[in-house]
Amino acid sequence: MKISNFEDERVHVLDANSSVWSVIRDIAESGTQEEAFYVCDIGDIVRKHKIWKSAMPRVEPHYAVKCNDSLTVLEVLAALGAGFDCASKTEINKVLSLGVDPNRIIFANPAKPLSHIRHAGDVGVNTMTFDNEVELHKVKRLFPDAKMVIRIRCDAEIAQCQLGMKFGCDPETEAPHLLQVARDLGIDVVGISFHVGSGCRDPPVFRKAIAASRKLFDYAASLGFHFSLLDLGGGYPGGHGTSISEIAEIVNMALDDYFPDPSVHIIAEPGRFYVSSAYTLACNIHSIRAVGTKDAVTGNPTTHYMYYINDGVYGSFNCVLYDHQHVVGIPLKEFSHSKLYSSSIWGPTCDGLDQVVEQTLLPEMQVGDWLVFEDMGAYTLPVASPFNGFPIPKVHVVADENVWMLLKDILPLTEDHFVIGNIPASLKKGMDVNRDEDWSLPILPITITLP
């Protein structure tokens, strides 16, 4: 397998003194940058993989491609040996184009268009989910040898995005009937999947879902099925300051209690866990309205600032509408001891809906200042549109030297597999930025070739 298709086919390698923030500063303050841009840190994705493997060693991650389908992400995860959860024919093709074995893909969409089922059969993606009877009849007609996974419903009490209203059959009242139908049709059902809700804030729900799965495994055995797969779905948080350790502890204990047999293959479909914190977005303030208002506490006259930035809810911040994310704009410039003002942040389009942050406190910013938004890797770029002619931000990919070493530890790579150039001085913290440098051009090529 060859890893060479990064967005711009290049990765900026950081030295020990550089960071995502120093790169953002260098680009933003280059004097030529106006458009919003992302910095994607591959190291963050690699670190997440290490965290996952040590937190839940028995659970094989199948990254949910829908969350961020950038080639950078897919290639790094493919190289690290992750599997993939695809929702469509196009996602399947994208993953297969990287040389990933079709057995490492689960087609985890319980309601699939006909041609997509046929296509999965054609390319050898055999494992797919269902939660209704019609799907079984479609599969019987289009891909009778498919290995089906029944998706049950078990909703977290608190989640950023609930999914149970659309997908998942009731494990008690619907699943037994569906398994009987599958048996009568001669369809091979091999396991169970669930998704407790994206951005789950109810870790114990995983135990409930695993316990319900155990019951259904046993019922399936009574019908003559031999289930061998349990898919724990997504829901794992991934932003700065979040942790999967509580979920992991609950999952590991529940697996020990309900699925001690190591021959049961346990997978999960994490999306935001892997990519959320890897992407940081920098936006430029291009317009400002100062509105006279009254202080909410004192009633004294004060000013509310409306900042207009060059990415909004039709672009990256669609996550505010669709993914219910609360984003925080951090000034790139340092303001020590500045007075904070009531402020709101707006996108660049002419739509009144295009509001990024309704109410926040910021120092008084100027046109040309930058606001930085962390945790922008999940459910942002794949949904963004250039509505009103505002482009989707370009992604600059970075990796630090430690990650380089880490990749070599995880993978059977040698130094010969990398093509290394010189690290530009401008990427070293504390050095002057070369004003003539074209930051839109890739700087350092890396080619990782796996044997």
Among the listed residues 26, 41, 75, 85, the single contact to ligand PLP using CB under 6 A: 85
Residue 241 is encoded by which pair of tokens? 């300051």
Phi-psi group of 413: left, alpha or beta (phi > 0 → left; psi -120 to 50 → alpha; rest → beta): beta
Give dist(CA 42, CA 22) in Å, integer: 16
Among the listed residues 72, 198, 280, 318, the single contact to ligand PLP using CB under 6 A: 198
Residue 82 is encoded by which pair of tokens? 């992750």
* Residue list 381-420, contact with ligand PLP (CB under 6 A): none
Among 26-34, 240-248, 271-279, 421-429, which window interacts with ligand PLP (CB under 6 A)?
A: 271-279
Q: Based on the shown chain and the rule CB under 6 A, indicate whether residue 269 belongs to the binding site for ligand PLP.
A: yes
Active site includes 350?
yes
| Strand partners for 38 | 281, 395
- Per-residue exposure over 380-407, b if at least 16 CB sit within 10 Å of its own CB, e if not: bbebbeebeebebbebbbbbbeebbebb
Q: Based on the shown chain and the rule CB under 6 A, indicate whether residue 271 belongs to the binding site for ligand PLP.
A: yes
Residue 233 C-beta: closest distance to ligand PLP, Å: 5
Closest residue to ligand PLP in the complex (CB): 234
Residue 234 gets which letter from DSSP? S
Among the listed residues 270, 315, 347, 348, the single contact to ligand PLP using CB under 6 A: 270
Q: Based on the shown chain and the rule CB under 6 A, indicate whether residue 108 belongs to the binding site for ligand PLP.
A: yes
Among the listed residues 24, 56, 64, 356, the single contact to ligand PLP using CB under 6 A: 64
Angle at which helices 89-96 and 114-123 cross, to 10°: 20
Between 90 and 359, CB nearer to ligand PLP: 90
| Strand partners for 189 | 148
Between 126 and 198, CB nearer to ligand PLP: 198
| Strand partners for 193 | 151, 231
Residue 66 C-beta: closest distance to ligand PLP, Å: 6
Between 27 and 67, CB nearer to ligand PLP: 67
Number of residues that bind ligand PLP (CB under 6 A): 17
Catalytic residue among 67, 86, 169, 350: 350
Going by their DSSP bridges, the two strands 188-194 and 147-152 should be labelled as: parallel
Give the CA distances from residue 46 to residues 50, 402, 404, 406, 410, in Å, rounded to whole numbers and listed in that order.
6, 11, 10, 8, 9
Query: In terms of Cα–Cα distance, which of 359, 348, 349 is closest to 291?
Result: 359
Residue 91 C-beta: closest distance to ligand PLP, Å: 11
Q: Based on the shown chain and the rule CB under 6 A, indicate whether residue 43 belongs to the binding site for ligand PLP.
A: no
Going by their DSSP bridges, the two strands 159-161 and 198-200 should be labelled as: antiparallel
Give the CA distances from residue 356 to residues 125, 276, 312, 334, 406, in Å, rounded to whole numbers and listed in that order.
39, 18, 6, 22, 37
- Contact between residue 398 and residue 424 where contact means Cβ atoms under 8 Å apart: no
How many CB atoms neighbour CB 430 within 10 A? 7
Among the listed residues 272, 327, 403, 443, the single contact to ligand PLP using CB under 6 A: 272
Between 94 and 272, CB nearer to ligand PLP: 272
What count of Cα atoms within 13 Å lies in the side-chain half-sphere of residue 352? 0
Query: In terms of Cα–Cα distance, which of 395, 374, 433, 441 is closest to 18?
Result: 433
| Strand partners for 37 | 282, 394
* Residue list 148-167, contact with ligand PLP (CB under 6 A): 163
Among 26-34, 120-128, 193-201, 424-432, which window interacts with ligand PLP (CB under 6 A)?
A: 193-201
Residue 316 C-beta: closest distance to ligand PLP, Å: 16
Residue 301 C-beta: closest distance to ligand PLP, Å: 45
Q: Based on the shown chain and the rule CB under 6 A, indicate whether residue 176 belongs to the binding site for ligand PLP.
A: no
Between 229 and 365, CB nearer to ligand PLP: 229
Give dist(CA 280, CA 327) in Å, integer: 11
Residue 175 C-beta: closest distance to ligand PLP, Å: 17
* Residue list 222-251, contact with ligand PLP (CB under 6 A): 233-236
Residue 198 C-beta: closest distance to ligand PLP, Å: 3
Between 14 and 86, CB nearer to ligand PLP: 86
Residue 123 C-beta: closest distance to ligand PLP, Å: 19
| Strand partners for 206 | none
- Positions in the binding site for ligand PLP (CB under 6 A): 64, 67, 85, 108, 163, 195, 198-199, 233-236, 269-273
State the catalytic residues: 350
